Amino acid sequence: MEIFWFMVLMTMLGIYVILDGYDFGAGIVHLLFTKSEEERKAVTNAIGPFWDANEVWLIASGGVLFFAFPTLYASAFSGFYLPLMLVLWLLIFRAVGLELRGQVHNRLWERLWDRAFGVASLLLALFFGAALGNVVRGVNLGMVENGISTQEPHYFFLALWNPTFDPLAAHQGVIDWFTLLLGIVAVVTLTIHGANWIILKTSSSLNERLKVIIFRLNFALLILVIISAGLWHYVKPFPLTNLRTHYWLWIFPLIGLVGLLGQFRIKQFKKDGTGFFFSTLFILGSFSTTVASLFPTLLPSTNGVNPSLTIEGVAADEYGLSVGVYWFVIAAILVVSYFIIQFRVFRGKMDDVGYGEH
């Protein structure tokens, strides 16, 4: 039963990254690449009816984590307390920026909230990428000092960074050169993803310029992926053991590769949704490859004293997991129905939505 809930949790997180990921990317485009009020409005129109609904997947993922894997929930939410608080504030500023921007028609007011929306989106992409880097790298479970565990085996706490900026240091930080690299990969990935969404949902004059930007960013992304894959082996020796044992798992990196290479043809796509399809494939393939390589580990331990947190070791009891299935089915039907209705109502281009105008 714990395997079922693991699959549910990873699926929900994957959906969140794909859906709210294009919101983050649109915010980065809004911050860095828009040149006129018309282009800025096109960006907010593209995500206006969707961004708050997409965040439901993050909340729901937290609920499933609390219900199905309470030990991991307790460990992660205490250990990553500082970055989680920063993420919370960034989510608030992103929402406030979108909602307050159109309340007062004053240039200074609008620019203030434009910056809040854009900077928060960029930092959220960076922090979520760094969060994935922390999971890949592992943490010092039990706060081991000189071979002795000073805390409970599942407990850890990370400062925002350590003085050496070294991912292999005894006293780790949330941000080091490896997690920062993955954060940059996330920023580039989601910028491309958000740009593809804007192309899909608007007919803005910005779109042709975005295709050029996507093409150029994709070269940077390819280089970053190659570098980060090589450094992954340095930080975590033999990270792809599962893929060597189960060859069918190579379907996941293959999906990511197809998505990455497909985006090089962004200028030739005749349908506006093709680019978004390929960026979704890249995100899906990359996320699935990471999950498959770690399985059944949920949070690796960087010391030899306390074991890594695995699915079986942190799951709730069998009875609770079984009862929860019935409630999950009801919730899943409601959520899926809501999103089907939402995408049917707001299908097509969003140029005339006028989101945030008062």
**Strand partners of residue 144:** 149
Distance, CA of 41 to CA of 216 (rounded, Å)? 24
Residue 174 DSSP label: E
For tokens 């309470």, name the residue: 70
Cβ-contact 58, 15 below 8 angstroms = no
**Contact assessment for residue 26 and residue 43, using Cβ atoms and an 8 Å cutoff:** yes
Rounded distance, CA 127 to CA 183, Å?
A: 6
Which tokens is 87 given? Answer: 């993420």
The pLDDT, as a whole number, for residue 104 is: 79
Packed helices 273-294 and 251-262: angle between N→C axes, nearest 10 degrees: 150
Burial class (CB in 10 A: 0-12, 13-18, 19+), 100: middle
Q: Which run of H or of E encompasses 239?
A: none
CB atoms within 10 A of CB 341: 10
Residue burial 139-150, b: 16+ Cβ < 10 Å; e: rest: bbbbbbeeeebe
pLDDT digits (tens, 9 = 90+) for 290-314: 999 999 999 999 888 889 999 988 9
Report pLDDT for 223.
96
Domain boundaries in the chain? Answer: 2-345
| Separation between Cα atoms, residue 21 and residue 13, nearest integer Å | 11
**Each residue's pLDDT tens digit, 195-224:** 999 999 998 889 999 999 999 999 999 999
Amino acid at the residue 289: T
pLDDT of residue 262: 94
Task: Locate all alpha helices (DSSP H) within 138-205, ordered by sequence.
Answer: 177-201
Burial degree of 32 (CB within 10 A; 0-12, 13-18, 19+): exposed
Kindly list the distances between the CA atom of residue 70 and the CA atoms of 95, 231, 326, in Å, as whole numbers in the listed order.
29, 32, 19
What was the pLDDT predicted at 101?
Answer: 81
Q: Which two tokens mark 343?
A: 């995408």
Taking 3-state DSSP, the helix, strand and coil percentages for the chain, each rounded to the nearest 5, stand at 70, 5, 25
What pLDDT is attached to residue 144?
87
Cα–Cα distance for residue pair 304/255, rounded to 1 Å? 34
SS3 category, 228: helix
Supply the pTM of this predicted model.
0.93
Within 10 angstroms of residue 25's Cβ, the number of other Cβ atoms is: 29
Cα torsion 210, 216, 218, 221 to 10°: value is: -120
In the chain, which residues have pLDDT < 50?
Answer: none
Own/partner contacts of 207-215, CB < 8 Å, gap of 24 or more, are 207/272, 209/33, 210/29, 210/33, 211/266, 211/267, 211/275, 212/267, 213/33, 214/263, 214/266, 214/275, 215/263, 215/264, 215/266, 215/267
**What is the pLDDT, as a whole number, of residue 224?**
96
pLDDT at 303: 86
pLDDT score of 356: 62
Does residue 235 contact residue 167 with C-beta atoms inside 8 Å?
A: yes
